[in-house]
Every structure is written in structure tokens, then in C-alpha cells.
Chain A
């Protein structure tokens, strides 16, 4: 009777451990997949041809978001997917483009920071924010901008895979971090 009880208890613990491992693995897989996805497909818009469209070999554009005067695009090039921005008063006119050889987003690279940085002191390579904008994977709910000492200078929410603000603090910025909905850091650069 006692031996049967022990065997049953061991079997029960083994089953529970196996179920816990499966749940944990699936949770991790779910988080990883949410960092490899952009649910915002945007709205297809007609590209206005210009030097950037020609030089970057852009073929199609989807408008991901309009935030004030900022229009954010997902762009299909001949050899890669690119992201860009432009003036929202002139939709389809792309004013900047970043393309990448590798896949985006991924768990190892869930944020494409397109923010504009500025320096006003010659010889000093500490740059501050001029404007914040970028693209983030589904699993990212906020992006933090970090001081050289690692403290948080600015936290910007992500909505529809896009983050942006023109209200930025002064002072040096040395890094960017991505947070999940629980506020846990998912990724940091550099």
C-alpha cells in the first residue's frame, strides 16, 4: 500500500513537472513569436516617385501610422523590406528610409529606432534627442531612452507597432531599451 502510494506520488510529480515545462516552453515561444511579428499591416498607399524611391528600389508602401506631421511607412524594396518616414501632409512622399539585410522584427532585434539625435557641442560625441520615432514588435509596449549612467530619460508607449514623440528631454542619450506590458526589459541597445 505504501509502495503504491509512493509510486503514484512520484508519477504525479513527474506529470506535473512535465506539464509545467510544456507551459513554460510555450510561454517562452509565445513571447518570442510576439517579438517577431508586426500586426499592423498598414494601409497601402501610392509611392510618389523621387530620388529615395529610385535609389532604394522601393516598389510598394504601406502607411503604418500618422502622428502629427509624421507619416511612418513599411516599404517593400527589390531585395529587402525597409521602413521610412515622411511628411503626413504629403502621404506617399518618403523622406527617409532604412533597409536591412536581416529579418525584422525578431526576438533579438524587436525595435528599429528611427529617432533623430543632435549634437550642439563640437568635439563632444554625447548626443541628445531631437525627435523620437521608431517601429517595435507586437510584444513591445514601451521604449525607454537611457542616459549614459543607465537611468531612464524618457519612456514612450508603443501603439500599432509605432512609437513617436516630439516632447523630448535635453541631455545625453546613450541607449534604447524595449519593455513588455509588465515593464520587464526585453532588449537593449547598445
Chain B
């Protein structure tokens, strides 16, 4: 009887430990892909959600590309941050099939870096040789829509 009780207690403890480990793993994954800072001056689609950026996406505010781009309003932006998820899926290297260009634009040009990767990307205007009054931007370049959250501040 005592042995059986000990076995039951052991099983309960093991289940609890497994539950705690699983919860920690889920929390870590959520933390790793959570949207960019809510303290940003401009976010897309909001400061706490993701949106799909595809060939037909637009913020309808006069971006460099009339479609396939989301951009902020004009300001003296310091950093553009992008979080890109594995939507609709990633390969072993973390690459999606959707390429985006993230960076900045002014009235004369659009500049940025390309990426297929899923994760976090940050860039400041001087890295693209720009400064002053700019728009932060993320543009679809090729492939299926990318699931992103953008925050500029």
C-alpha cells in the first residue's frame, strides 16, 4: 500500500514537472516571436498584432510603391524594427518563401535590406545612407505574403 502511494505521488510530481517544462517552452517561443515594442511611434498593423504583407497590401498613405508596401508617415525616425514569422512555413534554416525589403524611403528613393528569414530585423537610417525627414517602410518583393509586425520609433 505504501509503495503504491509513493508511485502515485511520483507520477503526479513527474506530470507536474513536465507541465512546467512545457509551459516554459511555450512561453519562450511566444517571447521569441512577440511583436516589436509597443512604445514605437508607428506600428503596422498595430503594436501587438501581425499582418500579411503581400503584393496587394497597402497603407494607402503615399508609400513609394502604391501596393505591396506598408510605410509610416513622415518623421525623424531613429529605428525601423520588423518581426517576421514563419508564416506560411519555414525551412530548416528559418527561411520563408516570401522576400521583403525593409528600411526607409524619402521622396527620391527607397532603400533597405532584403530578407527571406523569419525573426527580428532592426535598421537605422544612417545604415542606408539616409537621414532627416523619412518614412520607415517594409515592402513585399517576391513570393507569398509575409506575416510581419513593424514598429518604428
Which residues in A have some Cβ–Cβ distance to B below 8 Å?
51-52, 55-56, 79-80, 82, 85-87, 95-104, 106, 108-109, 113-120, 122-123, 125, 127, 130-131, 189-190
A190 to B141, CA, bound (A): 12
Pick the residue among A109, A114, A120, A127 that contacts B101 (CB under 8 A). Answer: A127
Pick the residue among B64, B66, B78 that contacts A119 (CB under 8 A). Answer: B64
A82: chain B residues within 8 A (beta carbon): 120
Tell whether, in the assembled complex, residue A102 and residue B32 are in contact, meaning their CB atoms are under 8 Å apart.
no
A116: chain B residues within 8 A (beta carbon): 103, 111-113, 127-129
Interface size in chain B (residues, C-beta < 8 A): 46
Tell whether, in the assembled complex, residue A119 and residue B119 are in contact, meaning their CB atoms are under 8 Å apart.
no
Tell whether, in the assembled complex, residue B113 and residue A117 are in contact, meaning their CB atoms are under 8 Å apart.
yes
A108: chain B residues within 8 A (beta carbon): 92-93
A102: chain B residues within 8 A (beta carbon): 90-95
Tell whether, in the assembled complex, residue B129 and residue A98 are in contact, meaning their CB atoms are under 8 Å apart.
no
Tell whether, in the assembled complex, residue A101 and residue B90 are in contact, meaning their CB atoms are under 8 Å apart.
yes
B133: chain A residues within 8 A (beta carbon): none
For this complex, 25 residue pairs linking A to B, each with C-beta atoms less than 8 Å apart, are A51-B37, A55-B36, A55-B79, A56-B120, A79-B31, A80-B32, A82-B120, A99-B121, A100-B117, A101-B90, A104-B93, A109-B95, A116-B111, A117-B111, A118-B128, A119-B109, A122-B64, A123-B65, A123-B66, A125-B65, A130-B111, A130-B129, A190-B99, A190-B116, A190-B142
A118: chain B residues within 8 A (beta carbon): 109-111, 128
- Is B86 part of the contact surface with A, judged by Cβ < 8 Å? yes
Instruction: Considering the complex, give the chain B residue whose CB is closest to the CB of A93.
Output: B124
Instruction: Considering the complex, give the chain A residue whose CB is closest to the CB of B37.
Output: A55
A126 to B8, CA, bound (A): 67
A104 to B108, CA, bound (A): 35
B66: chain A residues within 8 A (beta carbon): 122-123
A101: chain B residues within 8 A (beta carbon): 32, 86, 90, 94, 117-119
B30 to chain A, nearest CB (A): 11
A130 to B108, CA, bound (A): 14
Tell whether, in the assembled complex, residue A119 and residue B110 are in contact, meaning their CB atoms are under 8 Å apart.
yes
Tell whether, in the assembled complex, residue A131 and residue B108 are in contact, meaning their CB atoms are under 8 Å apart.
no
A120 to B109, CA, bound (A): 5
Given A104-B93, A130-B128 in contact, is the A122-B65 Cβ separation under 8 Å? Answer: yes
Mostly, the B contact residues are mixed
B137 to chain A, nearest CB (A): 11
A85: chain B residues within 8 A (beta carbon): 127
Not counting A85-B127, A119-B110, a sample of 4 additional A-B residue pairs whose C-beta atoms are within 8 angstroms of each other reads A56-B120, A99-B117, A101-B119, A125-B141
B114: chain A residues within 8 A (beta carbon): 113, 115, 117
A118 to B108, CA, bound (A): 10
- Is B60 part of the contact surface with A, judged by Cβ < 8 Å? no
- B residues 28-49 near A (Cβ < 8 Å) are 28, 31-32, 36-37
B122-137: CB near A (< 8 Å → 1, else 0) gives 1110111100000000
A35 to chain B, nearest CB (A): 12
Residue in B94, B127, B129, B153 whose Cβ sees the most chain A Cβ within 10 Å: B127
- Is B54 part of the contact surface with A, judged by Cβ < 8 Å? no
B123: chain A residues within 8 A (beta carbon): 95-97
